[in-house]
Amino acid sequence: MEHISVLLDESVQALNIRPDGIYVDGTLGLGGHSEAIASRLTTGRLIGVDRDDRALAFAGDRLGRFGDRVTLVKGNFADLGALLDGVGVELADGMLFDLGVSSPQLDDASRGFSYMRDAPLDMRMDETAPLTARQIVNDWSEAELRELFRLYGEERYAGRVASAIAGRRLEKPVETTGELVEIIRGAMPAAALREKQHPAKRCFQALRIAVNDELGSLERMLEQAADRLRPGGRLAVISFHSLEDRIVKEAIRRREAGCTCPRDFPVCTCGFVQTLRSVGKPVVPGQEEINKNPRARSARLRIAERV
């Protein structure tokens, strides 16, 4: 499996790793970020979390040389508090979350994530989960599909795509990614097809988010993350589209400047207690990294520190 970890040096440096610290890689993937973190530990510990069995197996082999410095856990980072309780960790010194889909997931046709390869409509990160992209495409109403593509994909032609899907599935169910791409292409006006971006990208993004409850999971994780960091501990989150980034930005803002008192009040009476502070401006990949890994182009790293 080939995968290039995005913003690897920048995200690991953001954690201010101590050799004896406890760190969480909440999106283990194939272990690239985890390997860089674990290599900086001596008596410290790394907790790697993922809900993809294949990723856990591969990362387990890759990180095996670190022995008991690394603990791998299957789970959804939305359950961060319970996952840390399960491995006996109360507070961590740093947490990293890379919200992107790994290259092997995109490139493995059987997973159904990619609009570039024909495969069964699936898109589950946890292959034991019940909901698939096929069910959404064939069972959700036209109105539900329109809202899905509009909200989660920010697709300008959401109504046209939803209508085209609803029409096609009257003939037979939509079974594969290739069939769905064909329907989306057919629904797009000529001007949209001339755009640099693949016409199916936004709709596939929306389906992946819905199948895996990505935004809901992200919000739940962020609610728990600051509470499980030690004072001075760092939170680093890499997002890849504007919806994710807005959620991360707002979650940090609420913890940093969430006081609701009128500005002319001499003291805070709303009970707000600051728990995070932003560290620097969002970090984006340089041109050299983008040239090596075009999938990094839209990445944005936000860093916050527990106060």
Contact at 8 Å (CB) between 218 and 244? Answer: yes
Q: Show pLDDT as tens, one digit a residue, over the chain (307 residues).
A: 456 899 999 999 999 999 999 999 999 999 999 999 999 999 999 999 999 999 999 999 999 999 999 999 999 999 999 999 999 999 999 999 999 887 667 778 789 999 998 999 999 999 999 999 999 999 999 999 999 999 999 999 999 999 999 999 999 999 999 999 999 999 999 999 999 899 999 999 999 999 999 999 999 999 999 999 999 999 999 999 999 999 999 999 999 998 888 888 888 888 889 999 999 999 999 999 999 998 899 999 999 999 9
Residue 103: per-residue pLDDT? 66
Length of the chain: 307
Residue 2: per-residue pLDDT? 54
Residue 220: per-residue pLDDT? 97
Residue 1: per-residue pLDDT? 46
Residue 67: per-residue pLDDT? 97
Residue 3: per-residue pLDDT? 66
Residue 109: per-residue pLDDT? 77
Residue 264: per-residue pLDDT? 84
